[in-house]
Structure 1
């Protein structure tokens, strides 16, 4: 991989007021949407971070990978505040968290240490576009899986956790797009599934971030202030903004027509998916 040209390194090294504002707005917006609609901020963060990095001279392959890794790193902070709120209401099924966590860690490390590092950013961008397009379609259809069985045994939960952690690491998301439907299918009440998914976001994020940091150490051309594939300025500013507005979004959810808003947001997600397809096909 070629190193960034010197002028681009200078551009990335300078945390300008404009860049701070862009990152802060992204954090504030994704945090509010996450609280309002109950969706992970990664679906919004990854395309916008990709755009911000690309506009500052980072190559398309590296921009996509850093966007996914940085988005995942923010979940470490946002999941803590979210879990505290759910735990106070007694909604988190900690027994399920304990059963899924081992598989999640294994799957996350397998993805972030192995497959993520081997795949081109263009492939990851296309995969992300498919994931966002699928999520948008789910919002429009608003279909919930019917509870047809109970949680599986040890082998089944480890396998399920592995799939959740692995796929989450490839798209920079907290795993709710798989874990919530899976738990609902296993006869877990939907409010418990959502709360438990928020708790699972922490081990997903920690394990994947560890993999991104390790696998990114040998990569050349990373912009200044990077820790492996993690872009630290983006992480700090976005995380601060999202932690501030997530509780506001949760409060607004009780006063606003969330079902209608989800359909509007689904339309926006299709546009973001199209952008990532474009990055993948042109990268």
Structure 2
């Protein structure tokens, strides 16, 4: 057991991450997972958590925290009337199915594989946001089913493997088909709800009974981290929503792209540094 002073430092680091995660949940509609996963990975490493379960634990715990954060963020955006409810209704089965499949995949892949998936997707999304051009469009409106439904499954799978709420992928999908970034951000909060709830149960199942997990963990969910960060993220998420609606499209895209590059660099360094 680490000294009390070290545990206090870890708690403060997690609390600070909770503030940032909550702001990002509202600002980008990403559920906060993009910041929580790398922070958890670092903190769990300092606590001596087995590398074999460290990334999986980070992803699963992030998804558990995203549940209330996404709900709070979604309700805040919904009140502003900018959520695409038709798209969310179409994805009611598709996105949760993808999240469940992600937990099945995660149960059989390595920590390094999960980190690589996170970094590659983050870089792809960052490139799209930073170098966005008006001509980068796949269509004037969202595709019809079954393409749209399959995209929902894919977003659920990739987001579930990254431990994020789906905003990084849904924002890209919707803007490529001409939807306003503010509508994409608002709808992404709802996508986060569809991903995080089945993802939580999936990661409990995937890690059930495995050795090397820290105290007060159920599968790949650590409830100490969940209990510490959820109140903070719930408190600050509406502030991020307010900020999102005060910024223009290019500011949102640039900030989002820079953020994802920093996160991708951190994981690539952990793999090859």
| TM bracket, shorter-chain basis | 0.7 to 0.9
Q: Greater CA deviation, 116-125 or 241-250?
A: 241-250
1:237 aligns to what SS in structure 2? helix
User: Residue 83 of structure 1 corresponds to which residue in structure 2?
Assistant: 74
The aligned counterpart of 1:251 is 242
Task: Give 1:83 shift.
Answer: 1.1
1:129 aligns to 2:107 (yes or no): no
Seen in structure 2, the aligned counterparts of structure 1 residues 13 and 216 have a Cα distance that, compared at 3 Å, is: farther
Match of 1:67 in 2: 58
Give deviations 1:23-58, integer Å, cap 9, x for gaps.
111101221233345544222111111000000101
The gaps in structure 1 that reach 5 residues or longer are 1-9
CA distance in 1 between partners of 2:74 and 2:147 (Å): 25
CA displacement at 1:168 relative to structure 2: 0.6
Q: 1:279 to 1:35 in 2, by over 3 A?
A: same
CA contact (8 A) 2:67 2:196 kept: yes
Shift of 1:262: 6.2
Report the counterpart of residue 204 of structure 1 in structure 2. Answer: 195
Residues 53 and 87 from structure 1, CA distance in 2 versus in 1: closer, same or farther, beyond 3 angstroms?
A: same
Q: CA RMSD in A?
A: 2.8
In the aligned structure 2, how far is the partner of 1:85 from the partner of 1:28?
17
Aligned to 1:26: 17
CA distance in 1, matches of 2:5, 2:160: 29
Q: CA deviation at 1:244?
A: 1.4
Deviation of 1:189 (Å): 4.3
| Cα offset, 1:192, TM superposition | 2.9
Any conservation in 2 of the 1:34–1:246 contact (CA below 8 Å)? yes
Q: How many residues align?
A: 272
For 1:116, the equivalent position in structure 2 comes to 106
Any unmatched runs of 5+ in structure 2?
none
Corresponding residue SS for 1:174: coil
Is contact 1:126-1:281 (8 Å) kept?
no
SS at match of 2:238: helix
Partners of 1:258 and 1:196 lie apart in 2 by: 15
Mark the CA change 1:141 to 1:227 in structure 2 (over 3 Å): closer, same or farther. same
Q: Does the C-alpha gap of structure 1 residues 165 and 85 become closer, same or farther in structure 2, counting only changes over 3 Å? A: same
With normalisation by structure 2, the TM-score equals: 0.87
